[in-house]
Copies of this chain bind each other. A is one copy, B any other.
Amino acid sequence: MPQETTTSGTGQASGAPAAADLHAVLQRFYAEQMQLLDSGATQEWAQTFTEDGVFAASGQPAPVRGRSAIAAAARAAREQLDRAKVVHRHWLGMLTADPRADGSVLARCYALVIATPHGGDPAIHRSTICEDVLVPANGSWLVRERAVTRDDMAHG
């Protein structure tokens, strides 16, 4: 994901109510998005991406392109989890979000996947960085681009 110029940063703007509101609103957006995924509502989850959304993840051969392909990939992953009797919870945190001149937002956060087998102990399955380009839509946000980088595959 290119490091583009943003319209706000650490300075003056991040103390403003608008920046605070955006931070809280995006936390809510991510909470809702991940609750959908983790509860198996993969179709609804895919609706939080744009129609032409792209999902790239380290460890996957190629980015997944388009909402229906994203939905299908999530469904397949879910069915595998169900067969393995494992519950996944996606925790996103340590979010920074910077509006860009075109109205989109560049968001960067940490993401953990907590895996709990039926009758077993929870453990951290993955620790990752999640970088999104978010675009406004219908009073909320949609993900146009997502890049997930696994810490275990990060360059030394």
Residues of chain A at the chain B interface (Cβ within 8 Å): 10-15, 17, 19-25, 27-32, 34-35, 82, 85, 87, 89-97, 108-110, 112, 114, 116-127, 138-140, 151-154, 156
8 interchain residue pairs of minimum CB distance = A12-B139, A116-B151, A20-B24, A122-B127, A20-B21, A87-B151, A31-B94, A122-B124
Given contacts A10-B140, A23-B25, whether A31 and B118 have CB atoms under 8 Å apart is no
Q: Smallest Cβ distance from A151 to chain B, in angstroms?
A: 4
Contacts of A15 in B (CB 8 A): 25, 139-140
Q: Is B30 a contact of A94 with CB atoms below 8 Å?
A: yes
* Residue from B17, B29, B108, B118 within 8 A of A17 (CB atoms): B17
Q: Is A127 a contact of B114 with CB atoms below 8 Å?
A: yes
Q: Is A156 a contact of B82 with CB atoms below 8 Å?
A: yes
Q: What is the total number of copies of this protein in its complex? A: 3
Q: Is B96 a contact of A152 with CB atoms below 8 Å?
A: no
Q: Smallest Cβ distance from A26 to chain B, in angstroms?
A: 9
Q: Smallest Cβ distance from A106 to chain B, in angstroms?
A: 13
Q: Taking A14-B29, A19-B25, A93-B93 as given, write out 4 further A-B residue pairs in contact, using a Cβ cutoff of 8 Å, ordered by the A residue number.
A: A82-B156, A89-B110, A89-B127, A116-B154
Q: Smallest Cβ distance from A20 to chain B, in angstroms?
A: 4
Q: Is A119 a contact of B87 with CB atoms below 8 Å?
A: no
Chain B residue at minimal CB-CB distance from A108: B35
Given contacts A11-B138, A35-B108, A139-B11, whether A152 and B28 have CB atoms under 8 Å apart is no
